[in-house]
Amino acid sequence: MKTFRRRPFRQAVSFFAFQDIITALAGSLMIIVLVSAWLKKNTSDAPPGTAGASYRSYRQLTDQIAQTNRRIDWQRSQLEELRSRHQKHTRQNQQQKLQHHHRFQLAELEKVINERQQLQQQLQQEIAQLEQAAAPIGEQQKKYLQLAAEAQQLRQKLNDRMLRRKLSVAGRRTAILDCARHAWRWSDTPQVWQLLGQAHADHPPLPALEGYRELRQKLQNTTPAIEQLVIAVRPSGGMFAEALKADLHQHFPKLKIIMEPLFSENAGGLEL
């Protein structure tokens, strides 16, 4: 049996494809020719030396730009210098104004000081004249003042003696509380006195507080019970009197409290 060998298939090329390729190549060559002709024409139409002139114009323009930049830099530096001078001048003006203001204030202050010194000198002169004129009177006045002080002391002693008096207890169990500043004295026996709050005598007002505690203890623990309490109030201890009386009335309602004001710190006070 006879076999057939298959040959590879080849695609046929159309004539129109070659025609398109040739047309494209011809068009490209035509464009190249036209561009070359146009460039040649422009080059041939330009006068000789045009390229050099263009280069020189470019150099001149760049030089002008550089010169303008240098001028701008110089003007900027001048402006900065002027600004610095202006600021310095402004500071100097401010300092001058401050100095002028300070000088004016100093002048006013010196004026006031001078006026006061003159017034002080005048017053000193007048005082010296008055002292000279009153020297004889001053010696007599000193004697009078000394005599007046002695008379006041004698009058005080007399008042103290007159104020010392014994209480009429009328059969009541009576105690006396002598109140002065930071010192309270207690007596429930004739001519026997006891200081209350003596343990804190160096730390006022602790003596008054501790004295109040001891006073309440004595009123609670004394046998027989205290029926009548006489409070001798000196001027320095008067601020405690009313508060003390009100407080004792609350804690000891049956206790009779009598307030006896003393008109002097040195008064003899009361005795049982």
Query: Mind listing the pLDDT tens digit for each residue in 109-123?
Result: 788 788 878 888 888
Q: Which residue has the higher pLDDT, 34 or 49?
A: 34
Same domain as 264, residue 191: yes
Q: Check whether 230 has a pLDDT greater than 80.
A: yes
How far is it, in rounded angstroms, from Cα 98 to Cα 92?
A: 10
Q: Which residue has the higher pLDDT, 136 or 202?
A: 136
Please check whether residue 106 lies inside any domain of the structure: yes
Summary mean pLDDT of the chain: 73
Contact predicate 262/232, CB 8 Å: yes
Q: Check whether 28 has a pLDDT greater than 60.
A: yes
Q: Which residue has the higher pLDDT, 243 or 200?
A: 243
Which of these ranges, 64-73, 76-85, 186-195, 235-244, has the smallest mean pLDDT? Answer: 235-244
* pLDDT value at residue 268: 60
Choose the final residue of a domain: 81, 115, 132. Answer: 132
Structural domain including 73 reads 52-132
Mean pLDDT for 151-160 is 72
Q: Percent of the chain having pLDDT more than 70?
A: 66
Please check whether residue 143 lies inside any domain of the structure: no
* pLDDT value at residue 193: 83
Structure tokens given for 161: 């003696």
Please name the helix (run of DSSP H) or strand (run of DSSP E) that holds residue 42, with its range, or none.
helix 15-45
Structure tokens given for 244: 């003390």
How many domains does the chain contain in total?
A: 2
DSSP E strands in the chain: the ranges are 165-166, 174-180, 183-189, 192-196, 228-233, 256-261, 270-271
Question: Which residues lie below 8 Å from residue 173, measured CB to CB, with a gap of 6+?
Answer: 188, 224, 225, 226, 227, 228
Q: What angle do CA 45, 46, 48 make, to 5 degrees?
A: 120
Please check whether residue 171 lies inside any domain of the structure: yes
Please check whether residue 265 lies inside any domain of the structure: yes
Give the CATH number of the domain where residue 207 resides. Answer: 3.30.420
* pLDDT value at residue 3: 54
Q: Check whether 224 has a pLDDT greater than 60.
A: yes
Out of 43-52, 149-158, 233-242, 248-257, give the one with best mean pLDDT.
248-257
Give the Å distances, CA to CA, from 85 to 76, 79, 95, 140: 14, 10, 15, 80
Contact predicate 243/272, CB 8 Å: no
Q: What is residue 232's three-state secondary structure? A: strand
* pLDDT value at residue 51: 53
How far is it, in rounded angstroms, from Cα 121 to Cα 132?
A: 16
Structure tokens given for 94: 């401010």
Q: Percent of the chain having pLDDT more than 90?
A: 0
Out of 60-74, 76-90, 226-240, 245-259, give the one with best mean pLDDT.
245-259
Please check whether residue 21 lies inside any domain of the structure: no
Same domain as 176, residue 121: no
- pLDDT one-digit tens code per residue, 40-86: 665 555 455 555 566 677 677 777 777 877 887 887 788 788 788 88
